[in-house]
Structure 1
């Protein structure tokens, strides 16, 4: 009879997500993962199969957490309120291992190599854009955004602004808080 693992798989995925988010795919070795997750090689392979399989799980977790956070904010603040709060939230969250978006970092790192993980990151970014589109559409239906705006186009621009903001927040010579405030203020002009 197989033994029950002595670890919490979900907690290990969250830990691995933070390592990959901070160091990237190429910058994270199997030894790094084994050390951070406190797993021996055999246990690592039994739990996750491979570095790429674990990375895919961390991308999925990252995307799910982002959608859940935005959905919760929309319930509390309404769709436009959530969209206005998101820029500030993503740059002020001190528990994040990096400011730049893990999905965008993965795509930028691995797309030129034709790596499957780049395609997965791209799919997750598309899912996030769909979430933004739904919020813009709901804000429009509530009368908070004019009827002449295309929610899908607004979502694409908004996502682009957030990705740029998150990358800028990694730099010491940029005031990301001002940019976040500008993105939120631009939404009031819709």
Structure 2
């Protein structure tokens, strides 16, 4: 009978996510992962198979955690208020190892190599955009924004602005906070045309 592993797989994936998020795919070596996860090479390969397999798990963890945070914010505040507060929420999270989005960082790093992980990052970015569109559509259905707005188009612009904001936050937190306030005001203004 095989021995049961004596580690918390979710914790290891979370630690790997933070390392990959901070240093990227190329900037994170197997030795870095083994040290951060406190695993020997044999245990690492038995648990995850490869660096790419672990990176994919880390990307999925990043995406699902972000979707859950936004979903919880929407459940608490409603869709429009959640969209207003989310920009400030992501750039002021002091527990995050980086301010820039891990999905966009991965896509930019790996798409020129035609690496499968770039396609995985792109799929997760598309899901994120769909979540934003769903929240704009909910706000529209509730009468919080006017019918003349296209939720999909709003979501694309919102995601683009949010990704740019997160890069700015890497460079200058004070500027990013001011821009996050502007993004919140832009979303709030949508309610003025309801």
Question: Common fold, TM-score beyond 0.5?
Answer: yes
After the TM superposition, which residues 1-190 of structure 1 pair with which residues of structure 2 at under 5 Å, given as runs?
1-172=1-172, 175-190=175-190
Q: Deviations over 1:19-48 (max 9, x none)?
A: 000000000000000000000000000000
After superposition, the Cα gap between the structure-2 partners of 1:186 and 1:113, relative to the gap in structure 1 and judged at 3 Å, is same
In the alignment, is the contact (CA less than 8 A) between 1:168 and 1:174 conserved in 2? no
- Give the distance between the partners of 2:88 and 2:63, measured in 1 at CA: 18
After superposition, the Cα gap between the structure-2 partners of 1:170 and 1:28, relative to the gap in structure 1 and judged at 3 Å, is same
- Give the distance between the partners of 1:187 and 1:5, measured in 2 at CA: 48
SS at match of 1:4: coil
- TM-score with structure 1 length normalisation? 0.99
- Give the distance between the partners of 1:172 and 1:154, measured in 2 at CA: 26
CA RMSD of aligned residues (A): 0.9
Structure 1 unaligned blocks of 5 or more: none
- Give the distance between the partners of 1:63 and 1:131, measured in 2 at CA: 11
Structure 2 unaligned blocks of 5 or more: none
Residue 143 of structure 1 deviates from its aligned partner by 1.1
Q: How many residues align?
A: 190
- Give the distance between the partners of 1:175 and 1:71, measured in 2 at CA: 27
- Give the distance between the partners of 1:172 and 1:155, measured in 2 at CA: 25
Q: Deviations over 1:54-111 (max 9, x none)?
A: 0000000000001100110000000001000100000000000000000000000000
Structure 1, 17-26 or 165-174: larger mean CA deviation: 165-174
- TM-score with structure 2 length normalisation? 0.97
